[in-house]
Copies of this chain bind each other. A is one copy, B any other.
Amino acid sequence: MRQILVLGAGKSAGYLIHKLLEDAVDEDWFVTVGDVDLATARECVKNHPRGTAIEFDVNDSSHRETQIANSDVVVNMLAPAFQGMLAVDCIHSGKPLVSVSYQDQVIRDLGPDAHRKGVLLLTELGLDPGIDHMSAMAMIQKIRSEGGRVRLFCSYGSGVPAADEPSNPLRYVITWNPRNVVMGGEDGAQYLEDGRIKIVPHHEVFHHTWPVEVPGIGTMEAYPNRDSLSYMETFGLDDVRTMVRGTLRYPGWSETWAQIVKLGLPNETIRISDLSDRTYREVIEMFLPTNNEDPEIEQRLARYLRISPTGQIMEKLRWLGLFSEEKTGCDGETAARMMAELIQRKLPLEKGRRDTVILLHKLEVDYPGTDREPERILSTMICNGEPNGFTAMSKTVGLPTAIAVRLLLRGEIPLSGAAIPTHPSIYTPILEELQEEGIAFTETTEPITRG
């Protein structure tokens, strides 16, 4: 019996664990699910005879090493910061790592070591990053085989409440790690626009939006997602003139979040004393300049941020509870942690409601040396969650990961070292199976008529 160790049983792990357990008898697997909160892990395993839940503290190195040494594959669903730690242990024990987080510098640095030991560190295997790369890679390979040259590549990902259901004033729901929502854009972003590299710092990312039409949903807003340029090499897009990866939200999110960034709330370093006993209003006051004339806090905040004290942004900040006299009760010590707990509480997916996951690729392609017209290709994947069941986020993050684990344990991924799923041996079977499960892309092509 092969041993699968899943670390992290948070929001987006439910469906992954469900799928692994579903296949466990046929494939002769046993699935161990570790989480810092044992109850969360148990909820995912549901007493399945082929699974067990364990309490798992990633910082307990001896327990971590033992668990990894006893497994055949490690699946990382923990926060990005812990990925490197697991990778080191995986290399040490000769066990492959499958992860939904980004391939960061730590993983890149460990790549050669992993390769020497024949260990695969396969990251970016969820939705975004994950399905987005796989589907893009499949499109690009097809275009290339037809002699096409990609000139414009825009790829958008998103997880939001379903468009046709009421949600909350921010029109956003937390279906994945709220920490990542709070720290979104923290390293700034980089993209290519008509041949020009553009770099945007954290305090500008959410001011830097543009509209995107999503078929069947309507107009959304996009902000630039991290380093788009690093994918030029990944995808082999040498001739591209515009290369953007973006995140989609319903209009209004970014103008509000830009103010939260301007205030400085996404800060994971400065420790606020007695945070749990302070009110939100008290904490927000810390981020405002002192003013001895002491007008009302909302007025002062609006003046400091230069937003209207009576406008919609202000209304959303108020609705979030930033001026509330309630104590934060925060489990951590930083404003970022307080915000993560706040949005988790204020922006839940309500009972009976669905979330929607969107991936959208817009490519412009020409065919040099032929008389084929340049084309614009739009490829869209929209996946809805099940009311009171698995979220679209959990399905789209979990399914490719579960498929990758199966491929790996069957010996069908002939790779080692640091990899992301841009190799056909990984993305072809995964995309096929996603389609069978209803996670499919709709593609339209139209000629570009140049003015």
A residues near B (Cβ < 8 Å) are 187-190, 193-194, 196-204, 227, 229-230, 261-264, 267, 269-273, 285-287, 289-290, 335
List 8 additional A-B contacts (Cβ < 8 Å) besides A190-B270, A199-B270: A189-B270, A190-B272, A199-B267, A201-B264, A201-B287, A202-B203, A202-B264, A203-B262
Question: In the assembled complex, which residues on chain B have CB atoms less than 8 Å from the CB atom of A229?
Answer: 271, 273
| Contact between B196 and A290, CB atoms less than 8 A apart | yes
The 10 closest A-B pairs by CB, nearest first: A201-B264, A187-B269, A203-B203, A197-B286, A199-B286, A190-B270, A199-B287, A188-B267, A227-B270, A188-B270
Separation of A287 and B193 alpha carbons in the complex (Å) = 12
Separation of A337 and B262 alpha carbons in the complex (Å) = 25
Question: In the assembled complex, which residues on chain B have CB atoms less than 8 Å from the CB atom of A267?
Answer: 187-188, 199, 201
| Cβ-closest chain B residue relative to A278 | B197
Instruction: Choose one: B196, B227, B262, B290; the contact of A285 (CB below 8 Å).
Output: B196
Question: In the assembled complex, which residues on chain B have CB atoms less than 8 Å from the CB atom of A286?
Answer: 190, 196-199
| Contact between B290 and A198, CB atoms less than 8 A apart | yes
A198 to chain B minimum Cβ distance, whole angstroms, is 6
A239 to chain B minimum Cβ distance, whole angstroms, is 15
Separation of A259 and B260 alpha carbons in the complex (Å) = 21
Question: In the assembled complex, which residues on chain B have CB atoms less than 8 Å from the CB atom of A189?
Answer: 270
Separation of A201 and B269 alpha carbons in the complex (Å) = 11
Separation of A287 and B202 alpha carbons in the complex (Å) = 12
| Contact between A201 and B285, CB atoms less than 8 A apart | no
A305 to chain B minimum Cβ distance, whole angstroms, is 12
Question: In the assembled complex, which residues on chain B have CB atoms less than 8 Å from the CB atom of A188?
Answer: 264, 267, 269-270
Question: In the assembled complex, which residues on chain B have CB atoms less than 8 Å from the CB atom of A272?
Answer: 190, 197, 199
A102 to chain B minimum Cβ distance, whole angstroms, is 11
**A-B contacts, 15 listed (Cβ < 8 Å):** A187-B269, A188-B267, A188-B270, A190-B270, A194-B290, A196-B290, A199-B286, A199-B335, A201-B203, A201-B261, A201-B263, A201-B264, A201-B287, A202-B264, A227-B269
